[in-house]
Structures are given as C-alpha cells and as structure tokens.
Amino acid sequence: MSTLINTDTPISTKPLAGSSIRFSDLIERLNRQTSPPTLEQLNLWVSSVEIDDVELEPYIGFKEGNYWRHRVCRNDAVEMLVICWRPGQQTPIHDHNGSHGVVRVQQGLMCETIFAFDTDKGLGHDTDRECPVGTVTGAEVPDIHQIGNPASSGQDLITVHVYAPPLGVLRTYKLGSVQVDLYTPNDFPS
Ligand SMILES: [Fe+2]
C-alpha cells in the first residue's frame, strides 16, 4: 500500500526542531549506504531534508516531449533522482519491480493515481490524489501507480525521488488488461 506522509497524518515524519538535514548531507548519507535503507528510513530522511534553490539548480531542466529524470547519486543500495515535469507530463502506469521508494514534491503540484491488479480482471483504478508542495509519499512493493503534473496545473513540477535498491527495468501496465510489459526509464537527454 502507498502511504501518504504529511503534516496532517498521525504518522507524520515532519522534522522536529533542529533535526533537519542539508541536501548535501543526504547525498553523502546515501553514498555511504552499503545495503538498501528501509522505507521508514527513506521517509524520515526525505521528510527532514532542506533543499535550497542553489543546491537543486544542477538538476533542473525540462523537456517538451517528456518529463526529464536527473540522477543525483546512485550506488548498489540506493539512488536519488530529481524529476522535472511540464504540465501534462506523466509516467506510464508502472510498479518499481522490487524497489521501494519515496517521492517529495519540491515545487508545483503532483497527481498520483493508484491501481489494483487482478489476475482475472486485469488492472483497475483504485484512488487518485493530489500532492502539494512538501508532500512526501512512500511506495512499498508492489504498488502500481502513475504520477505526473496535471495538464491543468499551469505550473512546472519538480520532485525528488529516492529508491532502494536503485530502479532497473520497471513493469508497466494497462487499464483493464492483465498484460505486463517491461520499461527502462530514459534518464538522460540524447
Ligand atoms: Fe513510481
């Protein structure tokens, strides 16, 4: 199941006073990992990090055709990405093929749709939600979802993602179908 972490929920991981960490500290912490951090650890870290515009600037860039994934760091245990989305850009319906992860909305408005897979009926719609700035969501295995920047948002979206272990080939799905395809995200501009 997906978990939505924000200041309204009893399981909020909003940092206590003085407990925030810098973006560079988070990168360093991730680079030190020799085994995949738990979802709870990722939630805590990504909820606690403070990211300023200067630190984020190297990872900002938009494409007109599709969202753009910018890798911040990656090792065998964990990876971090910054993804930049124009209005109307969204992922395929996918799962993370054995990885868990968290997403933080850094700027703009993210929409997420959760799906349920039935081996007889195929893929069905479950829930939709909108995630404003500051939202941190966690995806456990085997969540199936689609995220993106609503076409009606009128603004760019910037999200920060941490996955453990790093994403490889993802599985994609189609509504009403039992078909599962493989998909390799394209990280960098050609
Ligand atoms: Fe995802």
pLDDT tens per residue across span 2-18: 555 443 333 334 444 45
Q: What's the 50 CA to ligand 1 centre distance in angstroms? A: 22
Q: What's the 145 CA to ligand 1 centre distance in angstroms? A: 6
Query: Cα separations (Å) of 28 from 22, 23, 86, 144, 145?
Result: 10, 9, 29, 30, 29
Q: What's the 12 CA to ligand 1 centre distance in angstroms? A: 21
Instruction: Note the pLDDT tens digit of each residue in 52-107.
Output: 999 999 999 999 999 999 999 999 999 999 999 999 999 999 999 999 999 999 99
User: Which residues, in sequence order, are CB contacts of 179 under 8 Å at separation 6+?
Assistant: 122, 173
CATH number for the region 18-175 comes to 2.60.120.10
Q: What's the 107 CA to ligand 1 centre distance in angstroms? A: 18
pLDDT band at 178 (very low <50, low <70, confident <90, very high): very high
The structural domains of the chain, with segments of one domain joined by +, span 18-175
- Cα angle value 40/147/62 (rounded, 5°): 110
pLDDT of residue 10: 34
